[in-house]
Amino acid sequence: MEKMSIFGKSLFSTSTQKFMKGAVLRKVKGRMEIEDIRLPKPGFGEALIKNAGVGICHTDLHAMDGHIGFPIPAVFGHEVSGEVVEINAAANATRNLKVGDRVVATFIMPCGTCSYCEHGHEDICETFFSHNRLKGTLYDGETRLFSANENQNPGEPIAMYSMAGFAEYSVVPLNGLYKLPDILPSLESCIIGCGIFTAYGAVKNAGLSLGGSPGADVVVLGCGGVGSNVIQVCRAFGAKRIIAVDIEDDKLEFAKSMGATHVINSKSSSISVPERVQEIVGKAKGGVDVAFEVLGYPATFNDAVLSTCDGGRAVMVGIAPLGTKAEVDITRLVRRKINIVGSYGAKARIDTPEILQLIERGIINLESITKIYSLDEVADAYDDLRAKRITGKAIVKM
Whether residue 362 is contained in a domain is answered as no
Whether residue 12 is contained in a domain is answered as yes
pLDDT category at 5 given cuts 50, 70, 90 is very low
Say yes or no: 186 and 334 in one domain: no
CB atoms within 10 A of CB 207: 15
In the 8-state DSSP scheme, what is residue 122?
G
* Residue from 327, 266, 317, 269 nearest 295 by CA: 317
* CA pair distance 354, 350, nearest whole angstrom: 7
Whether residue 347 is contained in a domain is answered as no
Beta bridge partners of 178: 104
The predicted pLDDT at position 16 comes to 65
Say yes or no: 385 and 289 in one domain: no
Task: Give the CATH number, domain containing residue 169.
Answer: 3.90.180.10
- What range does the domain containing 110 cover? 3-193+367-397
Instruction: Kindly tell me if the per-residue pLDDT of 384 is higher than 70.
Output: yes
Phi first, then psi: what are they for 340, rounded to 5°?
A: -105, 125
The predicted pLDDT at position 294 comes to 97
Whether residue 350 is contained in a domain is answered as no
Q: What is the helix (H) or strand (E) element at residue 265, kind and residue range?
A: strand 262-265
Say yes or no: 136 and 227 in one domain: no
Say yes or no: 147 and 187 in one domain: yes
Q: What is the pLDDT of residues 71-122, one digit of tens each?
A: 999 999 999 999 999 999 876 677 789 999 999 999 999 999 999 999 999 9
Say yes or no: 220 and 336 in one domain: yes
255 neighbors 210 (Cβ within 8 angstroms): no
In the 8-state DSSP scheme, what is residue 375?
G
Q: Angle 249-258/225-236 helices, nearest 10 degrees?
A: 30
203 neighbors 234 (Cβ within 8 angstroms): yes
Q: Angle 298-306/273-281 helices, nearest 10 degrees?
A: 30
In the 8-state DSSP scheme, what is residue 91?
G
What pTM value is reported for the model? 0.93
Q: What is the helix (H) or strand (E) element at residue 21, kind and residue range?
A: strand 19-24
Task: Please indicate whether residue 44 or residue 94 has the higher confidence score (pLDDT).
Answer: 44
**Nearest-10 Cα torsion for 351, 315, 381, 255:** 90
Cis peptide preceding 298, ω within 30 of 0: no
Task: Give the CATH number, domain containing residue 334.
Answer: 3.40.50.720
Say yes or no: 207 and 184 in one domain: no
Say yes or no: 210 and 244 in one domain: yes
Say yes or no: 139 and 255 in one domain: no
Q: What is the mean pLDDT of residues 137-154?
A: 87
Q: Which of 305, 326, 342 is the last residue of a domain?
A: 342
pLDDT category at 149 given cuts 50, 70, 90 is confident
Q: How far is CA 227 from CA 11, 112, 293, in A?
A: 37, 28, 8
Whether residue 356 is contained in a domain is answered as no
Say yes or no: 130 and 255 in one domain: no
Which residues touch 261 (CB under 8 Å, ≥6 apart)?
240, 241, 242, 243
Whether residue 206 is contained in a domain is answered as yes
Q: What is the pLDDT of residues 211-267, one digit of tens each?
A: 877 889 999 999 999 999 999 999 999 999 999 999 999 999 999 999 999 999 999
Q: What is the pLDDT of residues 282-291, one digit of tens each?
A: 989 999 999 9
Say yes or no: 141 and 59 in one domain: yes
Q: What is the mean pLDDT of residues 347-371?
A: 97
Say yes or no: 89 and 209 in one domain: no
Say yes or no: 174 and 28 in one domain: yes
From start to end of 143-238, where are the E strands?
145-146, 157-160, 169-173, 177-179, 217-221
The structural domain count of the chain equals 2
Whether residue 355 is contained in a domain is answered as no
Q: What is the mean pLDDT of residues 288-312?
A: 97
Phi first, then psi: what are they for 160, rounded to 5°?
A: -115, 125
The whole-chain average pLDDT of the chain stands at 92
Whether residue 170 is contained in a domain is answered as yes
Residue by residue, what is the 3-state secondary structure of 123-146? HHCHHHHHHHHHHCCCCCCCCCEE
Beta bridge partners of 169: 50
